[in-house]
A and B are shown apart, each in its own frame.
Chain A
Amino acid sequence: EVHLVASGGGLVQPGGSLRLSCAASGFTFSRYAMNWVRQAPGKGLEWLSYISADSGMIYQADSVKGRFSISRDNANNSVFLQINSLRAEDTALFYCARGFGSFDYGEFLDYWGQGTLVTVSS
Chain B
Amino acid sequence: GIQVEQSPPDLILQEGANSTLRCNFSDSVNNLQWFHQNPWGQLINLFYIPSGTKQNGRLSATTVATERYSLLYISSSQTTDSGVYFCAVGNAGNMLTFGGGTRLMVKP
Task: Answer yes or no: do A and B interact.
Answer: no
- Chain B positions within 8 Å of A, measured between CB atoms, are none
